[in-house]
Amino acid sequence: MDILRQARPQYGVIIHPESGKFLPVQPKTELEIGFGNGEFTVQYAKNHPEIMLYGVEISQACVLRCARRAYGLDNLRIINTDARFMLRELFPDESLQKIIMQFPCPWSKNSDAHKRVTAKDFADGLAAVLKIGGAFVMVSDDEPYANEVWNILGGHEALKAEDFTVNPEREITTKYERKWLEEGRNIYRVSFRKTGSFTVTRRVEGEMHIKIQRNITQSDIELLRNIEGKKDKSFWKFGRSFTDGKIFLLETLTSDDEFEQKFYIHIAPKDDGFLLRLDKTTLAFLTPAVRCALSDAAGKLS
Ligand SMILES: C[S@@+](CC[C@H](N)C(=O)[O-])C[C@H]1O[C@@H](n2cnc3c(N)ncnc32)[C@H](O)[C@@H]1O
């Protein structure tokens, strides 16, 4: 983490977690999901030096805006990823004291319901990573969404609905929130406490190497171009390939239930054949779709 601070001394610490490894946690670790430009996040971390705060945000532009504000802060770590898919992969069970979500997109269309925090996968991940006695707090300007979260998460076997307050007193408010309240509109805060043990299956693994017992040429790899595959919620597609005459890189796109990644499969000579693995420069997580893509490429090249 210090290396990242040295590389970009004007920024707070942006981290890229390793595939299949949980992030380190301290006794008082909290998480904010979807922090936007980080106005709340940075002030909250400053107000609470006793807390280690992680922030997960899907937008790279927001991550950079927050990282600029976070310069000099030692208790905030910023991660650019999709919390819906990655929450359970980043944190072990019973590791977070609090999870905060403020003004999340309400995803009002039925076709977007799977993106809400009330979707089973998201809610289960949240229930797993909270400590027993830990809290999930969501603030919204959308009353139907606040009601839905109250009813659905309140019915989760490991969570207890604790508080529903309209226009609560808030330690820190953001520009958008102040404007909204000045216009005479309401905000809604719903809080939950984790009451019992709960766990979920993790889908991301550490490493995958596949050995092929034959010689491979650039034209073998070019045959994979534009080939697509699909299995359950996993989708993959191969793109262009590059070579320095010895090692090949195969551009690959994957989607796991809309968690999208673009990376290279690294194909290099090994003993009397070739070895396929993820190229380390593109920092992909080894999800089910990535495993399928590696196996498919290896199968077709064998
Ligand atoms: C309406 S904004 C609210 C931002 C901020 N919390 C605030 O109160 O100003 C919602 C934020 O959630 C982020 N977001 C949406 N889906 C996400 C996901 N699956 N994982 C992480 N961040 C997400 C968006 O990029 C956006 O910055």
Looking at residue 88, the DSSP 8-state letter turns out to be H
Q: Give the Cα separation of 228 and 254 in Å (integer).
A: 10
pLDDT at 128: 98
Ligand 1 pocket test: pick from 31, 32, 42, 59 the residue with the most ligand atoms within 8 Å of its Cβ.
59
202 in a domain, yes or no?
A: no
pLDDT at 1: 53
Smallest CA separation from ligand 1 atom 10, residue: 104
Per the listing, tokens 């551009």 go with 251
> Nearest to residue 156, comparing CAs of 132, 120, 189?
120
pLDDT at 131: 98
Smallest CA separation from ligand 1 atom 12, residue: 34
Give the structural domain span for 270: 210-301
204 in a domain, yes or no?
A: no
pLDDT at 2: 62
Positions in the chain whose pLDDT score sits under 70: 1-3
Per the listing, tokens 């971390």 go with 45
Count of structural domains, the chain? 2
**Ligand 1 atom at minimal distance to the Cα of residue 82:** 20
Residue 212, CA distances (Å) to 155, 207, 295, 301 in order: 50, 17, 11, 8
Q: Of 169, 194, 219, which one is at a domain's C-terminal end?
A: 194
pLDDT at 9: 82
25 in a domain, yes or no?
A: yes
Which helix (H) or strand (E) segment is 128 a member of?
A: helix 120-129
Decide: 104 in ligand 1 pocket, CB within 6 A. Answer: yes
Question: Do 120 and 167 belong to one domain?
Answer: yes
**Ligand 1 atom at minimal distance to the Cα of residue 56:** 21
253 in a domain, yes or no?
A: yes
Residue 301 Cα to ligand 1 midpoint, Å, equals 41
Q: Give the Cα separation of 44 and 33 in Å (integer).
A: 14
Question: Do 163 and 47 belong to one domain?
Answer: yes
Question: Do 98 and 172 belong to one domain?
Answer: yes
pLDDT at 154: 97
Strand duo 96-102 + 273-278: pairing: unpaired
Residue 35 Cα to ligand 1 midpoint, Å, equals 6
H-only helix segments in 168-264: 175-182, 218-222
pLDDT at 211: 97
Residue 80 Cα to ligand 1 midpoint, Å, equals 11
200 in a domain, yes or no?
A: no
pTM (global) more than 0.85: yes
Residue 36 Cα to ligand 1 midpoint, Å, equals 5
Question: Do 188 and 288 belong to one domain?
Answer: no
Question: Do 180 and 233 belong to one domain?
Answer: no
